[in-house]
A and B are shown apart, each in its own frame.
Chain A
Amino acid sequence: MAALVLPAGLLVTLLLVAPMLLLFRISLNEYSPTEMMVEATTAANYLRAVADPYYRSVLGTTLAVATGSTLLALVLGFPAAYWLARMQGRWKSLATILVLFPLLVGNVVRAAGWLALLGNGGAINAALLGLGLVAAPLPLLYNTGAVVAGIVAVVLPYMVLTLSAIIESIPRQTEEAASNLGARPMTVFRRVVLPLALPGVAAGSVLVFVLCMNTYASAVLLGGPRFKMMAPAVYDQFVRGNNWPFGAALAFILLGITLVLTVAGSAVLGRRYRRRETEERA
C-alpha cells in the first residue's frame, strides 16, 4: 500500500506545491521593463497592491460578485437540488445527467452562448426589436448582471449536486412527520430540511465561492473591458504587462483572502451545525 501511496503523494506534492512555491518566490522579485524580472526579496509588490485603490476596488468587485453569485446559486440551486434528490427511478438518472451536462461544455463556450443571447444583436434583443417592444437594443451585456448570470450558470451544477447529495440523506419520512404534526411546507423547509442540509449548504457554498473568486472567462467575456475581477487582473499582469512579480503577488492576495473567507465561512456554518454535538458531549 505504502509503495503505491508514496510515489502518488510525491507526485501530488510536486504538481500542487512546487508551482505555488515558485509563484511565491516570483512574487518577491522586482519588475524591470527591460529585464522583466530581477531577483530580489521584497514585499513591495504586496504593498503596492494593497496601497493601490484600483486593486482594492478590483478585490471589492471580486468579493461582491463572488458573494452575490454564491448566494444566488444557493437560492436557485436549493429547489433544484431538492427536486433532484426526491426524484425516483430512471428519471432521476436522466435529470442528474441533465444537471451535469453543462459541465461538459467549457466555460468559454458557455460564455459565448451568453454573448449570443445577451448581445446587441443577440437572441433577446433581436426578439424585443422584432416585436417592437424596444426601439434600440438593450445593453444586456458588459455589466455586473451579465457576469453574475454567466458565473451562476457555471457554478450551479456544483451547488445542485452537492446539495442534492445531502438532501437525499434526509429521509422523506422526517419531512412527512413534520407536516403530519401541522407544519406548513415552508415551515418544514425552515425547521427540518434546511437545518439538516446545513453541512451541504456549507460545502456547496465554499466550493462555489472558491470557483467564483477565480472567475476568468465570464468576467472577461461578459463583463467587457471595463469590468475587472482579480483573475483577469492577474492574467493582465502576467501576459499583457509582463510584470510577473506583481501578478504573482496579486495571485497570492487572491488566494489568501479566498482561503481566509472560506475557512471563516465554513467555521460559522459548521458551528451552527455542531452546537448540538458540543451540548451532547457536555
Chain B
Amino acid sequence: MGELVLDALGKRFGASVAVERVDLEVPQGQMVALLGPSGCGKTTTLRMVAGFVPPSAGRVLIAGKDVTRAPPHARDTGMVFQSYALFPHMSVAENVAFGLEMRRVGRADRDARTREALRLVRLEGLEDRLPRQLSGGQQQRVALARALVVNPAVFLLDEPLSNLDAKLRGEVRMEIRALQQRLGLTTLIVTHDQEEALTMADRLVVMERGRVRQVGTAEDLYERPADPFVAGFVGRCNLLEGALEAPGRFRAAGGEVLPCAAGPAPGGRSVLALRPEHIRIAPSTDGPARLRAATYLGAQTEYHAELGGTPLVVVRPTPGAEDPLRRILPGDAVSLSWDPSAARLLPAAPHDERGA
C-alpha cells in the first residue's frame, strides 16, 4: 500500500486534448472519486494510472516510485473493470488466483489467499464455477476479489457498479466502501454517478472536458462549489446569470434584484448559485413570484416558480395537511426567500467558455 500521486498528468490524442493537466494526491488508505460526465477525461486518467494509456505529459507516482514509463504488469495496481473482464475460460478460483500465480506465490499460500479473498466477497462454495454461470453481482464480486487478492499498492475501480441493477448497486456500494476502509486500500474510482461518488469517496475530483474543476470533500463541493459547472453537476442548483450590483445585491439578467452573500467587489458578470432546498416558499397575496407547477414527491415537494422572468426550482419538505402551502395552485402568487449566505456568487467565465 502507498499513496498515489498524479503530477501534471496530461494526454493528447493527436490534436484533441483528453486530459489537460491533472494534479492529484491520494493519500494512503483514502478513496478518491473521479467524477464527471462522459468524455470528461476521467477514464483516460484512470487508464494512465493503470498503464494502459501512455501519458503525453506529467508523471504517475505510486508509493513514491515514478511508474510513468512502467508497463501495466509492473505497476502493482489492482483494477476492477466496468465489464469485470473476467477470464471466461477459467473458474472463479483460477480467476482469483491468476494475479498470485503471476507473482509466483506458492501453491499452498495461493490457495489460502484465494479462499480468503472469496470469503471476503462472500463467494465461498462457487470456486469451481465458470464466470458465465454466475449472476452479474457475483461476477462483480469475483472481479473485486481478483483485484484485491494481490494486495495492490493502488486499487482502481472503473465504473464498477454501472452494470448492476439499481437495488444491487446500493448494496455493493456499501460493501466496497467497507472493504476499502477495512483493508486500508488507496483507491481511485471513476464514476459518472454523483451519488455513488458522494457516498463512497473521501474526496471527489470533478472533471469536465479534460480539466479538473474542483477537488474536495462531498461537503466542499456541495456547499462551496468553485464554479457553476460543479454547482450544477453535484446536486441540483438554480444558476442565475447576472452581475453583483452592490455587496449583497445581485441583479439577475431578468432585472430582479436578489439578496446574496457579500461576495467580491461589485461589477462584472457572474452567476448566482442557489440550491433548491435553501429557498423558502410561502403563499402570498401580492408576492413577486408565481407558482408554475408543484410536484408531490412523497417526503418532498418540488415547486417550479417564476420570479419576474427568472425560473427557480424550490424543494421543500412536503407541508402538513394544515399548512396553507399545501393548497396553492399553479398561477398563485408566492413569496420566495432565502438566507443571503446560501446564495453563492460564482465566476461566470468557465460557463461562458463552455458555451463558446
Contact = CB atoms under 8 A, between A and B. Distances in A.
Interface of A: 171, 173-174, 176-184, 187, 191-192, 195-196, 276, 279-280
B134 to A, nearest CB: 12
Nearest to B82: A173
A193 to B, nearest CB: 11
B85 A174 contact: yes
Given A182-B99, A187-B102, A192-B87, A176 B81 contact: yes
A182 B89 contact: no
Given A187-B102, A196-B89, A280-B130, A176 B72 contact: yes
Is the interface on chain B under 10, 10 to 19, 20 to 34, or 35 or more residues?
A: 20 to 34
20 contacts: A171-B85, A173-B83, A177-B81, A177-B85, A177-B86, A177-B87, A179-B72, A180-B75, A180-B78, A181-B73, A181-B99, A182-B99, A182-B150, A183-B73, A184-B73, A191-B87, A191-B98, A196-B89, A276-B130, A279-B128
B88 interface: yes
A3 B146 CA distance: 55
Given A173-B85, A174-B88, A276-B89, 8 more contacts: A176-B85, A177-B146, A178-B98, A180-B73, A180-B77, A181-B98, A181-B102, A182-B74
A168 B103 CA distance: 29
B133 A280 contact: yes
Contacts of A176: 50, 52, 72, 79, 81, 85
A173 B147 CA distance: 14
B71 interface: yes
A137 B195 CA distance: 76
A217 B87 CA distance: 44
A128 B55 CA distance: 46
Contacts of A179: 51, 71-73
Given A182-B102, A187-B102, A196 B88 contact: yes
Nearest to B149: A181
Q: Which 10 A-B pairs have CB atoms at the shortest separation, nearest pair first?
A: A182-B102, A181-B99, A173-B85, A177-B85, A179-B72, A180-B79, A179-B73, A173-B81, A174-B85, A195-B89
Contacts of B98: 178, 181, 183, 191
Contacts of B79: 176-177, 180
A176 B73 CA distance: 9
A207 to B, nearest CB: 23
A280 B82 CA distance: 26
Nearest to A180: B79
Given A173-B81, A176-B52, A187-B102, A181 B89 contact: no
A97 to B, nearest CB: 24
A196 B86 CA distance: 12
Nearest to A275: B89
B84 to A, nearest CB: 8
Of A176, A181, A192, A276, most B-chain CB atoms within 10 Å: A181
Contacts of B103: 182
Nearest to A195: B89
A265 B81 CA distance: 37
Contacts of A171: 83, 85
A280 B65 CA distance: 44
Contacts of B130: 276, 280
A180 B150 CA distance: 11
Of B78, B89, B99, most A-chain CB atoms within 10 Å: B89
A171 B72 CA distance: 17
Contacts of B87: 174, 177-178, 191-192
Contacts of B89: 195-196, 276
A150 B48 CA distance: 44
Contacts of B88: 174, 196
Given A171-B83, A187-B102, A196-B88, A180 B72 contact: yes
A88 B336 CA distance: 55
A180 B50 contact: yes
Nearest to A277: B130
